[in-house]
Amino acid sequence: MTSESNANNGFSSEAEAALAKEAGLSLSGWQQEVSRGLEFGLEAAASIGDRSIPTFSRGELPHYAGINTFLKAPYLEDVRKVGEYDVAVVGVPHDSGTTYRPGTRFGPQGIRRISALYTPYNFEFGVDLREQITLCDVGDIFTIPANNEKSFDQISKGIAHIFGSGAFPIILGGDHSIGFPTVRGICRHLGDKKVGIIHFDRHVDTQETDLDERMHTCPWFHATNIRNAPAHNLVQLGIGGWQVPRQGVKVCRERATHILTVTDITEMGLDAAADFALEKALDGTDCVYISFDIDCIDAGFVPGTGWPEPGGLLPREALYLLKRIVREAPVCGLEVVEVSPPYDISDITALMATRVICDTLAHLVVSGQLPRREKPAYIHPEAEPEMAGDWR
């Protein structure tokens, strides 16, 4: 178990440690970006004093300019080359699984747009993603509106491709129905290995069907039917309130998933909650998949979501749990779901999603999981054959 005082490595405060860490970071990624900008974007007009500025914006600056990939990462048009990168961001613009407010098909766009606000550097973590990892944006999965099952097949195929390549998948939802096909895609490349799922949410999402289909209330019923993703390694953090369907609660009880409410988490303490999540998700498994529903955070911070529920985690609580988990578990992928930009205000919900993703990447760097020096041992080189009609 880490504590904040140990994490400061002898410095008197996190801030003092952060100041020292920054001095150890390289600038070569930035310098390459400047050179590339001047070459491809032409040197600036004569009146511009800062000669690192090109005529055409290429790269991070200015933050309001440019073509909007995630963190302005290069757009990888040829997805056959995804394995050349440490991390691949992929959008899943799908909201046919929503049962109340739609709009998450615009989630990937919304997250990408506000991600342009961020620099690749984090002060407290002492990480500069531009210097330490290679990141690409492969664009979006071609989902089929009004057909969950066809969309699921597309999503599983796409995620299996990325995961099997060795690139770490960052998945921008989309509603939570995508949790089943994303996990199914990962499981296709696990061979006989197993994955634990850590699920941040206000809702259990464990019923078999909702409105007669596999909606965003259903991913874990189906994901935990896959032999590589046992239900006893499903940890559900932040559950509670007035939107938890009783048929889903019955499934949680029958399958013995591990639930902590917001009160459980705050009363036992964040470190004890993280210890619990790590212990249950890693019990007999080889890696952990993180499914982060943005609505696990109190509705006041995330208005742009499908089923807002007051009483959720504070952002700093969720981010602290995430930090402990990502630093201490072998993480095989992250999805951030249920961001619905049409209901958002000042991009605040999409910004929270961006924060979850960037923090995860930083913790993967700090824990040595990124950059990828070799493919993690849990990735099986051969994909399981696609199973058509594995439900109904």
Sheet with strand 87-92: strands edge to edge: 135-140, 87-92, 168-173, 331-337, 287-293, 195-200, 234-239, 258-261
Residue 46: strand, helix, or coil = coil
Q: Fill in the per-residue mask, 147 to 186: x = in contact with Mn ion (CB under 5 A), - = not in contact.
A: ----------------------------------------
Q: Could you tell me the smallest distance in angstroms from the CB atom of residue 174 to Mn ion?
A: 12
CB nearer to Mn ion: give 161 or 216. Answer: 216
Is residue 201 involved in binding Mn ion (CB under 5 A)? Answer: yes
Of 86, 80, 288, 71, the residue nearest 167 (C-alpha):
86
Nearer to Mn ion, 328 or 338 (CB): 338
Task: State the Cα–Cα distance between residues 95 and 184, nearest whole angstrom.
Answer: 19
Q: Which is nearer to Mn ion, 201 or 286 (CB)?
A: 201
Q: By CB under 5 A, is residue 335 in contact with Mn ion?
A: no
Interface with Mn ion (CB under 5 A), residue from 86, 286, 293, 328: 293
- State the virtual CA torsion across 10, 16, 22, 24 in degrees, nearest 10: -30
Cα 191 to its chain centre, rounded Å, is 23
Q: Which is nearer to Mn ion, 54 or 219 (CB)?
A: 219
Backbone phi and psi for residue 27, each to the nearest 5 degrees, phi listed first: -120, 10
Q: What is the dihedral of CA 315, 321, 326, 328, to 10 degrees?
A: 160
Q: Are strands 87-92 and 127-128 parallel, antiparallel or unpaired?
A: unpaired
Stretch touching Mn ion by CB under 5 A, among 32-40, 227-235, 269-277, 287-295: 287-295
Per CB under 5 A, the segment of 38-46, 68-76, 203-211, 267-275 that binds Mn ion is 203-211
Among 203, 222, 280, 355, binds Mn ion (CB under 5 A): 203
Q: Which stretch binds Mn ion (CB under 5 A): 118-126, 142-150, 255-263, 293-301?
A: 293-301
Establish if 222 lies at the interface with Mn ion (CB under 5 A).
Answer: no
Sign, CA torsion 58/64/70/71: positive
Binding site for Mn ion (CB under 5 A): 201, 203, 293, 295
